[in-house]
Every structure is written in C-alpha cells, then in structure tokens.
Amino acid sequence: MTRRFFAPGKVVVVGEYAVVDGAPAVVAAVGIGVGLRWSAADTRDVQTPYGDTRFVDAALDAASAPPGRYAFSDDGGPALTSKPGLGGSAAATVVAVHAARALRGEDTHADAVYAVASDVHRLVQGSGSGIDVAASTYGGMVRFQHGARPTHVMPSRLVVVWTGASAKTGPRVERYLGWEGRAAFVARSAEITDLFLVDPLRAVEQDYALLVAMSEQAGIDYRTPALDRIVELAWVFDGAAKPSGAGGGDCAIAVFAEPDSEAKFIDACTSDGFTVLGTELSDGVRELA
C-alpha cells in the first residue's frame, strides 16, 4: 500500500524583508514543490533528494508519524542546475506534517497543519517569518503577517522566472536587520502590500523601487544582471517585475495588465535563456489520488 502527498513551493510577491519586522506581505503558492510517497513498513525510513533530513525528521516527530517509508522528492517542475529558492524546506516540513496526520486519521485542516509546521520550521531553521510555510499550507495567494492567521486574497496572475542562479537568504536578512533605516521602510512596505490588493502592477513597480533603495542603503547584494534583464523585459511589454524574496538570484515574478503582453514577455524571457517556471497558482498541501 502506498499513499502520495504534495506541498507547493512559494514566491513572495510583495513585502519581503519587512515581513521579518512584522509587516504584512503577499505570498503565492506555485506548482513546483515537494512530493512525498509513503509505503508501509515496520519502522520509519526517511529518504530525501539531498540527504538532509533535519526538517522532515523534526516534522514527522512533531506530528507523531507512524512507521513507514517516507520518500520525499522535488516535484512539479523542470530539472534545474541549482535550487530556485521556492521554499523547499518549508514545503517538505508542511507535507511531512500533513502526511503524518492523514496517516494517523487526524485533522488535516490547513490551520492544524500550519500550527505544527510553522513551529517546526522555525525551530530547525533558527529563524524565519513563516511566510513560506503559510504558502505551502494554504495555497493560492495569501496575505501573511506574523501573529495573524494567513488569509487568501483575490489572486493575481503571475509569471515566475528563474534567473539561473541560486542565492542565500540568511546573510541578506542579517544585513537588513543591522540597518538603521528599517522603520520607514517597513511602514512604506505595508502601504505597498495594501496597494497590491487593488493595483498589482503599480504595487510591484513601487515595491521593486523600494527594495532597490533599501538594499543600496543597507549594503545588500540585491540586484544581478539577470534580474535587471527580467525587470527590463517586463517594462518593455508594459508590465512590472521584481525579485521574489531576498534577491541576488533565485526567481523573479512579473505581472501584466494584458494577456498578450504576458505572452510576449514569456517568449522574450525564453529567447534570452531564462526558464519560465509557470503562471498558475497551486492549491495548498494535499493528498494525491
């Protein structure tokens, strides 16, 4: 007997960096995430693609997972040369908690899974806002703010583009936390997050400008030639784009007012050698048929 589960990855749409100071942000779940195949066994056996079982072991322990073979995998996307920064550790934590509860016949409502998974992920990682855990758990497009229940918002269509290079979030966040100009930045970021709910394109434009200014003042390596090119291409086709997350690589997101403009942007990105990871949002963690 086998059972299969999946949790999506995430892209932060607006509000990154400020979210660690308690400001709201918008995050979206994407169809590239972490799969889990469970099969019956007398003892617990855990397998992961990269050999790191810290997050999933802690999640399975916290959710009192029954014995069995737990085989985790990267699911739903193209083969990439490095990690795209879509919150894989959070997705793995979420799918492990959901599966353990399902296998025990317990409540798998998103709130119940999120309560356990967010605590586990923060404990193992040592820090973090929980925004990536929220996306993997609830799916769709979510307004996130620490201390409040994540809530779905009217989804906006996004194009997710991989730059071709991974980037480390931790050192950038540490430098941000040492910056003295955070109060004004956080207040403005919150305003832009609210703006996104009524005017996504303008909000993405303004958030990108705000993050570039912040990174220059804080000494954060945020922009790269690849990210600059993606932003430029979005502008050429009457859209807006920005890095998703801490910058320095990983993915960018882009929004457009017209489908034709979006299609031209996708073609241009592909011609420039970028990998377009998708345009569709994903449901939250779930058991697969």
Q: How far apart are CA 19 and CA 211, in angstroms?
A: 13
Q: How far apart are CA 39 and CA 4, in angstroms?
A: 9
pTM for the full predicted model = 0.95
Q: Are 131 and 24 in contact (CB under 8 A)?
A: no
Q: Which residues pair with 69 in a beta bridge?
A: 39, 45
Residue 129's closest CA among 84, 189, 81? 189
Q: How far apart are CA 35 and CA 81, in angstroms?
A: 19
Residue 48's closest CA among 40, 39, 57? 57
Q: What is the CATH number of domain 2-155?
A: 3.30.230.10
Task: Count CA atoms within 13 Å of residue 254 on its CB side.
Answer: 34
Q: How far apart are CA 136 and CA 126, in angstroms?
A: 19
Q: Are 235 and 75 in contact (CB under 8 A)?
A: no
Residue ranges with strand state E in the chain:
2-14, 25-39, 44-47, 68-75, 141-144, 151-152, 159-162, 239-243, 251-256, 275-278, 286-288
Sheet hosting strand 239-243, strand order edge to edge: 239-243, 251-256, 159-162, 275-278
Q: In the chain, what are the domain boundaries?
A: 2-155, 159-278
Q: Chain centroid to CA 172: how far? A: 16
- The reported pLDDT for the residue numbered 103 is 97
- The reported pLDDT for the residue numbered 81 is 65
- The reported pLDDT for the residue numbered 214 is 98
3-state helix, strand, coil in the chain (%, to 5): 40, 25, 35
Q: How far apart are CA 267 and CA 67, in angstroms?
A: 47
Cα 270 to Cα 86, 95, 139, 164: the distances in Å are 20, 31, 27, 12
| CATH ID of 159-278, from 3.30.70.890, 3.30.360.10, 3.40.50.150, 3.90.950.20 | 3.30.70.890
Q: How confident is the prediction along the chain (289 residues), in pLDDT tens digits per residue?
A: 899 999 999 999 999 999 999 999 999 999 999 999 999 999 999 999 888 999 999 999 999 999 999 999 998 777 776 788 899 999 999 999 999 999 999 999 999 999 999 999 999 998 888 999 999 999 999 999 998 999 999 988 999 999 999 999 999 999 999 999 999 999 999 999 999 999 999 999 999 999 999 999 999 999 999 999 999 999 999 999 999 999 999 999 999 999 999 999 999 999 999 999 998 999 999 999 8
CB-based contacts of 201-204 (< 8 A; 24+ apart in sequence): 201/239, 201/240, 201/255, 201/256, 201/257, 202/240, 203/14, 204/13, 204/14, 204/240, 204/241, 204/242, 204/253, 204/254, 204/255
Q: What b/e string do you get for 108-122 counting C-beta neighbours within 10 Å, with b at 16 or more?
A: bebebbbebbbbbbe
